[in-house]
Structure 1
Amino acid sequence: MNETLAANTSGTQTWTEEEIRQQPTSWMTALHHLDNQRAELDDWLNTFYAQPGGKIILTGAGSSAFIGDIIAPCLARQLQANVVAIPTTDLVTNPMDYFHAEQPLLLVSFARSGNSPESVAAVQLANQFVANCRHLIITCNATGDLYHYACEHDNARVRLMPAETHDRGFAMTSSISTMMLSCLAIFAPQLFNSHSFASVAACCEAIIASHGDFSQSAFGDLNWRRVVYLGSGGLQGAARESALKVLELTAGQLAAFYESPVGFRHGPKSLVDDETLVVVFVSSHPYTRQYDLDLLAELHRENIALRVVAISDTPATVMEAGPHLYLPASRTFNDIELAFCFLVYAQIFALTASLKAGITPDTPSASGTVNRVVQGVVIHSWPEVR
């Protein structure tokens, strides 16, 4: 990794900016590494698939959990299997609701550091509850507890991401996107591989280049006090991660929310006022897209928000009635591929919002109330309380 920190025009140097910029290169590196490891991993996975009634849980904490929100629907459809996303923060508090003794389980753990208390506890609880339990650890840290667990236990395998994705900044950027891509490539290699994904990486490289020194975001620079991200299906997971980036990097000074475009009408829409930025992640699926564009047209008619920005890879008349972003020219992307592009826009926006607020993005929590690796979590043994 380049040891020279990235700099913006304000003179502030941040690892966060460097880690946003490095993503397209890191993605392709991870995919090429996976190409060399595929045969052994495929054999291991096939023995799991051969068991009837198996369940795959995608898990992690914070941004790592949102990986599952984004990709679980796609993987369930591709594998025609029971694939669900459940955060470690839920698994450790309510293991009895998610682990079933006689149901074969593959627990896929996403972890930047692999040292979060909940991540380690979720693995231990899964082993305790499930007789036939396997673990796939996808992590960025070769010295983390989860990495060492996978190396020492026969029921586990580990895939280590490129070293530079063990983000030094507080917020997860290259770590979340590279782990997400690697999981997709592991379970759906026919769709996600070094050949097919090159166009997505090139598109994101162009998005990053278009932002120059990152002194401004593509959403504009108005005096908004809250931001709302909207997306359907897996793009709702991308909206959730985008909202978290704003909260993290502005230390909560800019309030951020997420929803689906259809769900937004059922109460959350009441938060929109003349200090609100709304960002709509428009689906590429022709059916789902209709709902996204319907809400976009509604927001334009009502004209309550300070700004409504739509992002899409294909044009639509309703989008051109207001601020909008079309992705750099490329082939048509599916929604999971779009998620990578949309997340890059959201990461850059969160970084610029952080700098505008006078916050140091690498260490936004001056009070220390939140930390890069979560602290203060007491893990209770099962069954400690009956």
Structure 2
Amino acid sequence: MKMAPYRRNKDDILARINFPLFSLQMLTNRHVLVAGGGGSSKTGVDNGFEIFELSHDGKKFYVEEVTRHETGPNVVMNCVVSSSPNGRHTYLAAGQESHCQLYSVNSYFISSQKNGITETVEDKSELWRRKSVTKVTSDNNNKENVTKRLKFELKPVDSVQTDFNGSEPLCRVVRVHPSGTLMATGGTDGDIRMWKFPTLEPIAKLKAHSKEIDDLDFSKYGNYFISIAKDGLAVLWDSIKGTEIRRLTWNQPQGSKYLYKRCRFGVVDGEHKCALYMLANPTGQAKKQMSYLQQWYPEEGIIKRCADFDESLSALAVRDDGRFIAVGTMFSGSVSIFIAFSLQKVLNISNAHSMFVTGLEFLPVVDQQNYTVNSVAEAAVLSISVDNQVCIHTLPYRKSIPLWLAILIMIFTMFMTFLFCSYIGL
């Protein structure tokens, strides 16, 4: 029997930004990067990035803005953070109009010196709403206290055109291989372009789709690469050879037509294998059909499990250890967390956002006990939307009975049943 998911009607709003949000990344274990904007039209809505530092006070999460980078007239529809192969440099690749813009992410500390005084700091920014914070410092030895804070600088490095649709070219997806050596981009022209990373030298152009690309992803194991598009195809590739392995097909209910919305690879817990997760939404006359979260095994090219929804799906994330999946919805702005291996729903936040969810990202796992950063929740996922809000949703540790105790209870129950039957003469 399935356990009912833990439900909340409202969760924590971390920040309100002054532009719609389309992309979300964890820059470090403690720093969250969001991106978006209002586009090139003269609406007065900015375009760019915001970086927040995440902290936990033992009861709830808080964020504090540390960096803002504006991108002029170019809205940021998607982005990905990756390290160089040697791990010495961090890069941000962002889809901005028809181009992919590469940024070097440089970090540095800002030191502030205090001398046993009480300071009140007020954030006058309209980007997110917090009351003024009072910081108290003391020094019995009459020495200056030094507080250090990590800041970031996004420095443009290179830019390449990645989409060549004659009417409205747009770089819709940017993904980087876990090795940090290969980048893939997809746009409205339906072509997938492979690039050396971070030099952005062109490698190949893969042709399989007749309509715009919706999503791409690389696997950590097996050299797999997946592409989905508005032509309804899901194509599995060999990312090293650049050759097509197979097209993923399934028996759609009642002959209806489905389109894939998002795709993400995850690792199989304890194995050097990968699983593939995809969101499928009905279209046309089939809009009253269910939407699906599907779990595929790419080696076999078959669906292992499905979870159904009564509305269209818009966002997908897989935790880095492969244990949890997060899904965001289109109409209600809800967020759900699933156990990956069984697709059992364990958390549901109805109406987490007032509009459709555009991005999800799990907080990284930082130790063997699977604690999330700065928290002892079993899992925590960030969500963004075009409602300008950044929210966080936490899964408390679920109560369970140890196996040895369950066996002991079962033996005791059988023994008491035997005694009762003997007593009444059965």
Q: TM-score, normalised by structure 1?
A: 0.27
- Determine which structure has the larger strand proportion and give its number: 2
- Determine which structure has the larger helix proportion and give its number: 1
Bigger Cα Rg: 2
- Relative contact order higher in (CA < 8 Å, ≥ 6 apart): 1
